[in-house]
């Protein structure tokens, strides 16, 4: 796949003027052909045929660590371009009246960046990305899933998660944080003209971050099942602060942030010549430089990714006892509440 992409999709994608849309439309058949393969490469690796495996905290932890790699690499790639905030300007005239109407109907402000997100999601929807219980699209409606292999024999009657409430969907918050907080601090200010490359890389950054955030749903469900009595009492009391404490382990979070910083320091080093111990965990040499600020990458997780993840988990748990959509694998049938 790497060879196919590198030979078919030269980077950076220097789109300008009306060639934005022409280039994307030209690439659509290629993107559709590899979409299912790219999806398989994502860090969302839960075994959905087995609730025990999917909700095992050791397996979840391993997946979350792999997702860190994906996020860090995507941010490194985004940092090579300037902020290019024109990509986020509303009412992109280059889209034309028809596409602009379509995009705004999907819930966008009509910017070029949103167009790339929406078109990518349309492709991914066809290969069943959003049938995964922890994948949620930024825009809609999307095409019906019809391509690629299915996830075995799993059906709507053998769910792992309960219904996810609308309040737990934080895509709009993530989009605003990414564009207004992350990009200005990550990228050099100004406009280098690489609007197409910027929009493509933004999609990757946002999707990898969203995947990491919504994977917290598995964490919340796992903790609910392991301490059902305690969680139920907090939920019935609508104790949001109590639930936040229930899912929080500050010492683990601190270690995770330090791991992210170390990964960012390792992945983003500029290596022009080998130095002894350059990639070791020890303090780097005075001549070591980085493509990005490793400490800032740690702060993205500390200030944005982890808080959003925990908000998702708490909102999910607050609605956990209200599920009425049928049996959940590994759980006894829900008791029907008496009408009053």
**How high is the pLDDT of residue 275?**
65
Q: Could you tell me which residues come within 8 angstroms of residue 196 by beta carbon, excluding any fewer than 6 positions away?
A: 12, 13, 14, 15, 20, 23, 24
Handedness of CA 228, 232, 234, 239 (dihedral sign): positive
> What is the SS3 string spanning 263-311?
HHHHHCECCCCCCCCCCCCCCCCCCCCECCCHHHHHHHHHHHHHHHHHH
**How high is the pLDDT of residue 212?**
97
Label residue 274 by pLDDT band (50, 70, 90).
Answer: low
pLDDT digits (tens, 9 = 90+) for 100-140: 999 999 999 999 999 999 999 999 999 999 999 999 999 99
Q: What does the alpha-carbon distance between residue 195 and residue 175 come to, in Å, rounded to a whole number?
A: 17
Q: What does the alpha-carbon distance between residue 24 and residue 215 come to, in Å, rounded to a whole number?
A: 30
Burial of 44 (0-12, 13-18, 19+ CB in 10 A): buried
Label residue 276 by pLDDT band (50, 70, 90).
Answer: low
SS3 assignment, position 7: helix
The phi and psi torsions of 31 (rounded to 5 degrees) equal -65, -40
Label residue 288 by pLDDT band (50, 70, 90).
Answer: confident
The answer on pLDDT for 149 being more than 80 is no
Q: Could you tell me which residues come within 8 angstroms of residue 193 by beta carbon, excluding any fewer than 6 positions away?
A: 14, 16
Nearest alpha-carbon partner for 198 in 80, 300, 304, 296? 80
Q: Could you tell me which residues come within 8 angstroms of residue 150 by beta carbon, excluding any fewer than 6 positions away?
A: 128
> What is the SS3 string spanning 166-219?
HHHCCHHHHHHHHHHHHHHHHCCCCCCCCHHHHHHHHHHHHHHHHHHHHCHHHH
The answer on pLDDT for 94 being more than 50 is yes
C-beta of residue 107 within 8 angstroms of C-beta of residue 140 = yes
Encoding tokens for residue 108?
């966008």
Q: Could you tell me which residues come within 8 angstroms of residue 178 by beta carbon, excluding any fewer than 6 positions away?
A: 202, 205, 206, 209
C-beta of residue 129 within 8 angstroms of C-beta of residue 108 = no
Label residue 151 by pLDDT band (50, 70, 90).
Answer: low
* Maximum separation of any 2 CA atoms in the chain, in Å: 75
The answer on pLDDT for 15 being more than 60 is no
User: In whole angstroms, how large is the CA radius of gyration of the chain?
Assistant: 21
Can you state the percent helix, strand and coil of the chain, rounding each to 5?
Answer: 60, 0, 40
**How high is the pLDDT of residue 172?**
97
C-beta of residue 162 within 8 angstroms of C-beta of residue 333 = no
Point out which residues pair with 328 in neighbouring strands: 159
pLDDT digits (tens, 9 = 90+) for 233-265: 999 999 999 999 999 999 999 999 999 999 999
Q: Could you tell me which residues come within 8 angstroms of residue 320 by beta carbon, excluding any fewer than 6 positions away?
A: 162, 220, 224, 231, 235
The answer on pLDDT for 51 being more than 80 is yes
Determine what percent of the chain is predicted with pLDDT higher than 90: 68
């Amino acid at each position: 796949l790497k060879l196919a992409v590198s030979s078919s999709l030269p980077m950076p994608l220097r789109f300008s003027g009306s060639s934005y849309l022409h280039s994307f439309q030209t690439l659509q058949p290629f993107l559709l052909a590899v979409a299912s393969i790219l999806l398989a490469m994502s860090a969302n690796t839960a075994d959905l045929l087995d609730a025990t495996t999917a909700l095992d905290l050791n397996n979840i932890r391993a997946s979350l660590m792999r997702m860190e790699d994906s996020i860090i690499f995507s941010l490194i790639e985004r940092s090579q371009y300037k902020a290019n905030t024109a990509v986020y300007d509303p009412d992109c005239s280059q889209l034309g009246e028809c596409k602009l109407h379509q995009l705004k109907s999907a819930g966008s402000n009509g910017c070029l960046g949103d167009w790339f997100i929406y078109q990518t999601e349309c492709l991914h929807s066809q290969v069943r990305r959003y049938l995964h219980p922890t994948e949620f699209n930024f825009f809609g409606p999307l095409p019906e899933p019809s391509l690629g292999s299915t996830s075995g024999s799993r059906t709507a009657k053998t769910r792992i998660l309960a219904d996810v409430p609308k309040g737990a969907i934080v895509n709009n918050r993530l989009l605003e944080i990414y564009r207004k907080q992350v990009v200005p601090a990550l990228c050099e200010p100004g406009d280098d003209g690489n609007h197409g490359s910027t929009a493509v890389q933004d999609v990757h950054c946002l999707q990898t971050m969203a995947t990491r955030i919504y994977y917290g749903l598995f964490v919340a469900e796992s903790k609910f099942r392991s301490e059902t009595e305690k969680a139920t009492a907090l939920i019935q009391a609508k104790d949001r602060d109590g639930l936040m404490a229930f899912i929080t382990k500050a010492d683990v979070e601190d270690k995770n942030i330090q791991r992210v910083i170390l990964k960012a320091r390792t992945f983003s080093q500029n290596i022009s010549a080998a130095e002894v111990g350059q990639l070791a965990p020890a303090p780097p040499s005075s001549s070591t430089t980085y493509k990005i600020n490793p400490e800032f990458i740690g702060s993205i997780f500390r200030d944005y990714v982890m808080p959003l993840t925990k908000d998702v988990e708490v909102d999910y748990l607050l609605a956990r006892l209200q599920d009425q959509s049928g049996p959940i694998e590994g759980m006894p049938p829900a008791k029907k509440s008496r009408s009053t």
